[in-house]
A and B are shown apart, each in its own frame.
Chain A
């Protein structure tokens, strides 16, 4: 079982809907990440939080809005998404946001935009 829990596992939404993806870890990690992965491609970094503060935004469109309410929880709020946003969204955490820390990933949320 993964130590990073993502919900929901699958999500289908229309372009006008608002939904949220949730990620939780209880390993005491202080860095958390959102990645987007298209089929047959590697994960692409979207956001990085360090000590609950946003430290990296990889020029992600504003229809994706991250939130880190506390050190264990990371949300990704979705609004007015486009069909090309359909992908696997992966959450990860690491002890700290430094180079030598391996990231631990969740199972992901498979998102389909109608």
Chain B
């Protein structure tokens, strides 16, 4: 069975701090895809990144970076120099059986 665990329910930091959101997954598939989505208060889930199981390169996009480690089944997300606009709920998700399996989400609050 597919499972995604986001152990951090809520995180609160002060603006400009770096923050890392953890994601641990379980799957028996050898080929799978991992995703991160952001959900601001407006409700829409915004796609941030997709990573396939054969690509363990870390990725950086502006202030966002992702660390994929197959050995520990983790796909962590770091925001550098956080901003108030980063406040949202962040979901890690695993594609399994052609369905997205979401973690419980981490509510991130960036305080000015």
Q: How many angstroms from the CA of A91 to the CA of B16 in the assembled complex?
A: 34
Instruction: Tell me how many residues of B have a C-beta within 8 Å of chain A.
Output: 23
Residues of A within 8 A of B37 (CB): 105
**A-B interface contact total, Cβ < 8 Å:** 55
Asked if B42 contacts A103 (CB within 8 A), the reply is no
| 0/1 string, A91-104, CB within 8 A of B gives 1 | 01000011110111
The distance from the CB of A74 to the nearest CB of chain B, in whole angstroms, is: 16
Is the pair B100, A98 in contact by a Cβ cutoff of 8 Å? no
Please state if B104 and A56 are interface contacts (CB–CB under 8 Å).
no
Report Cα–Cα, A30/B62, bound state, in Å. 31
Report the count of interface residues on A (CB-CB < 8 A). 23
B66 adjacent to chain A (CB < 8 Å): no
Contact B50 A103 (CB under 8 A): no
Pick from A42, A90, A98, A108: contact of B105, CB under 8 Å: A42
Least Cβ distance of B59 to chain A in Å?
Answer: 14
Q: A43-B102, A45-B100 are in contact. Are A102 and B43 (CB under 8 A)?
A: no
